[in-house]
Structure 1
Amino acid sequence: MSSQLTPAIVFDPVTGLDMRDVAVRPAGPGEVAIEVRAAGVCHSDLHIVSGDWPADRPLVLGHEAAGVVTATGPDITSVQPGDHVVLSWFAPCRRCNRCAAGQAWLCTGTKALANTLPNGSTPFTGADGAEVWPYLGLGAFTGRLVVPESAAVRVPDELPFDIGALLGCSVTTGVGAVMNTADVRPGQSAVVIGTGGVGLSVVMGLRLLGADPIVAVDLSAERLALARRFGATHTLDGAEDVAVWCQEHLGGADYAFEAIGSPKVIETLPRMLAPGGAAVLVGMTPTGSTGSFDLFDLADQGKRILGCNYGSSVGEVDIPKLARLYLSGLLPLDELVGRTRPLAEAAQAFADLRSNTGARTVLRP
């Protein structure tokens, strides 16, 4: 089988963002070919476009997607052509010590962060034959792609592709931050800073586990209204002193989730907490970011700061679980999908994201 041409959204560190045709080679050993049906637009993609995370090569962007298996390489056992799948961007190696310990989100053997497939290759080439690389090992802003088997997670056929795409990153990250990273218990209080796709998913996870009260904080009245519908019991304008409010009204929160990736906001989290509380860093900051805290307060009050990568989730376990929760009506994800755009409108989708209004934008190839 020969390579196939497909349109793709490519970020080139020299020429910037554009849409171009790329060739996709067939699936090789340990690989799966996918027809992409929907792809969410995430801040991790925007970090590349904005230069927060430097890119050293042309990248097919996109890492939050769902689609249909069209072909498999040799020895693939978990999926077959025709299966509906969600793409898990942090494709684990399944062999390192962390994977063996059930902590696939800390895999030390994955090549996803190097923007390659597990063997160090790329499935994409440009019109001139030059290599174009898959962002986070996927490159999902395209019509077709090739991924490692561990990145293709089978889901029920009745799961809508738009919802499945969001399970690939934002929902798994947000709900996982509550269930896995923080292990929130019923009746515990929580404040959520930032109510974009990930923050709203945190709110949904908190409601699902019976947290109370749930305080959502944002600068957007539109997003705060969404947070109310997703389960927030209180909403605050981000211009307020959230730490003072938490201490006056809650005696401090048991958990404070930061879903923006702002170092300045992260520095304020410990002051929002009750003794023994935990700050959960869910939003991704620009590389090299630092922050400072009152170290005596952390030690004296037994407060914790928890890093959260991908919701401390194992894609093969957590994505099907979240799909079932949605299909049973326990996760109201439909309202999380805001505007849908064709792939050619990726630049406008990034503008939607920069404006910090509305729900998740989904691209359809």
Structure 2
Amino acid sequence: MIFLFVSPGVIISSDIVIKCKAAVLWGLKQPFSIEEVEVAPPKACEVRIKILATGICRTDEHAISGAMTTKFPVIVGHEATGVVESIGEGVTSVKPGDKVIPLFLPQCGKCSSCINPNGNLCVKADVTGKGVLSDGTTRFTCKGKPVYHFMNTSTFSEYTVVDESSVTKIDANAPPEKVCLIGCGFSTGYGAAMKTAKVTPGSTCAVFGLGGVGLSVIMGCKSAGASRIIGIDLNKSKFEKAKAVGATECISPKDYTKPISEVLSEMTDNSVGYTFEVVGRLETMIDALASCHLSYGTSVVVGAPPSSKMLTYDPMLLFTGRTWKGCVFGGWKSKDDVPKLVSDFLAKKFDLDQLITHVLHFKDINEGFELLSQGKSIRSVILM
């Protein structure tokens, strides 16, 4: 049995296929094509969602460029807010009409990662780009061809279908065009500082990469009470925004001839306690590791690494006492923590407006990716 939300207080059974608009990627390094797609009803333990707003994230661009393994044709997008349109049999955590955030990182509540209080990388996460739901099939069809899912979410569509483990209910008062960022970018950066690194009051932090996630790391460091936050980027046009969200100073490696780790050591009297790599480049990951204090520093890999690449580094960087950590989605347990983060936003504990530079209509999605590639946007939000 599937249930369809019609209007407040009215629920009828339905098994209809919805026809709607979606941005389809037909192949590698191609532009998005706005197409009419068919979205099948949710099966057991699945939820069909009407997307209200969705952010453009660098990870989506990785699917276009080939830096991330993806099957084509595909509907990407993974940072969104929506409303539950219908549910499949057995769904209990959400109901039609609920405002929700789709979760690219599921929380099944049963696997070892979900059960462990320190884990969050659920076994249901689509880390290999399989592009299908739990039963091995897709809910999207376009021009008679199956279209693959992306990271369990596929939010560049007016409607999408997700597993129940990949959606969580949020406060009905939350503005969708803002809290969609909690679905990925903001939570990933903020959590890297607050939850994964556990930045301590009075500490010194260095953030490599000042895009939307990097700025969110800075916001997390500031919330944690760091006294000095150094932003690092090749693009100096990002420095003003970084300082606005909490960076105490910003530097560009291009301005120095010596390694950035030595520059930071001299700047801080060798006191960098935490570093964050938010670029996704192997060389920068090693630079960030070398830049934290050799005996007590912690370096966190936040940027998604390129597929099929191996990292070579000097083990003395770790032997001397540094801690090297990685985090997915900031370390948050998605179904549990996303609603709390939305509540914190509504309580004005952080300001998402500082991250949103452009609000675009769905038909202008290619423009949003051009802004991203040109370094002219922090976060573009697409209104559906």
For this structure pair, what is the TM-score category when the shorter chain's length is used for normalisation?
over 0.9
Which of 232, 236, 243 matches 1:228?
243
Post-superposition shift, 1:14?
6.4
* Number of the residue aligned with 1:203: 218
Cα deviation for residue 37 of structure 1 reads 0.7
Moved more, 200-209 or 213-222: 213-222
- The match for 1:246 among 264, 286, 301 is 264
Residue 343 (structure 1) aligns with: 362
List alignment gaps of at least 5 residues for structure 2: 1-14
Deviation at 1:104, TM superposition (A): 5.5
Task: Indicate the residue corresponding to 1:178 in structure 2.
Answer: 193
Distance in structure 2 (CA, Å) of the matches to 1:183 and 1:240: 31
1:16 lines up with 2:30 in the alignment: yes
Mapped pair 1:315 → 2:329:
no
- 2:16 maps to 2
Specify the code of the residue in structure 1 equivalent to 2:135: N
SS in 2 for 1:76: coil
Identify the residue that residue 138 of structure 2 maps to in structure 1.
122
Instruction: Pick one of 301, 306, 315 that aligns with 1:281.
Output: 301
**TM-superposed deviation, 1:146:** 1.1
Whether contact under 8 Å (2:125, 2:152) holds in the other structure is no
Residue of structure 2 in register with 1:263 after alignment: 282
Mapped contact 1:252–1:272 kept (Cα < 8 A): no
CA contact (8 A) 1:175 1:201 kept: yes
Opposite residue 92 of structure 1, the aligned amino acid is Q
Q: Which whole-Å deviations, capped at 9, do the CAs of 1:81-121 have from their partners, x for residues lacking one?
A: 22111111112333222222245632224446422212222
Partner Cα separation in structure 2 for residue 152 and residue 292 of structure 1: 37
Per-residue Cα deviation, 1:262-315 (whole angstroms, up to 9, x for no partner) = 112112123211131011110012112233323223212x01211111111111
Question: Which amino acid in structure 1 is aligned with residue 221 of structure 2?
Answer: L
**Is residue 114–residue 333 contact of structure 2 (8 Å, CA) maintained in 1?**
no
- Select which of 184, 187, 205 maps to 1:169: 184
The TM-score normalised by the length of structure 1 is 0.94
Corresponding residue of 2:84 = 69
Taking the aligned partners of 2:334 and 2:317, their CA distance within structure 1 comes to: 36
- Once residues 23 and 163 of structure 1 are traced to their aligned partners in structure 2, the CA distance between those partners, rounded to angstroms, is 28
Q: Secondary structure of 1:172's match?
A: helix
Task: Give the fraction of aligned pairs with identical amino acids, expressed as a percent.
Answer: 30
Aligned length: 363
Which amino acid in structure 2 is aligned with residue 46 of structure 1?
E
Aligned-pair distance for 1:259? Answer: 0.6
- The one-letter code sitting in structure 2 at the alignment partner of 1:115 is G
Give 1:299's match in structure 2, choosing from 284, 296, 319: 319
Residue number in structure 2 paired with 1:325: 344
1:9 partner letter:
A
Q: CA deviation at 1:164?
A: 1.8
Q: Distance in 1 between matches of 2:89 and 2:41?
A: 11
CA shift in 2, pair 1:256/1:112, >3 Å? closer
* Cα deviation digits, residues 47-81 of structure 1 (max 9, x gap): 11111124333110101111111111122221112
Deviation at 1:15, TM superposition (A): 8.4
3-state SS of 1:59 partner: coil
Q: Does 1:52 align with 2:71?
A: no
1:201-244: CA deviations, max 9, x gaps?
Answer: 10111111111211111233332211111111111124244322
* Greater mean deviation of Cα atoms: 201-210 or 309-318: 309-318
Runs of 4+ in 1 over 6 A off after TM superposition: none
Tell me which amino acid in the other structure corresponds to 1:323. Answer: V
Asked if the contact 1:223/1:358 (under 8 Å) is kept, the reply is no
The question of whether the paired residues in 1 share the 8 Å contact of 2:107 and 2:122 is answered with: yes
Q: Structure 1 stretches of 5 or more lacking a match?
A: none
Q: Distance in 2 between matches of 1:21 and 1:103?
A: 42
Q: How far off its partner does 1:3 sit?
A: 0.7
Measured on the aligned residues, the alpha-carbon RMSD in Å equals: 1.8
8 A contact 1:95–1:109 mirrored in 2: no
The answer on whether the counterparts of 1:44 and 1:284 sit within 8 Å (CA) in structure 2 is yes
8 Å CA contact 1:92, 1:105 repeated in 2:
yes
Letter in 2 for 1:55: T
Letter of the 1:295 partner, please give it.
P
Q: Secondary structure at the match of 2:25?
A: strand
Conserved? CA contact 1:111–1:117, under 8 Å: no
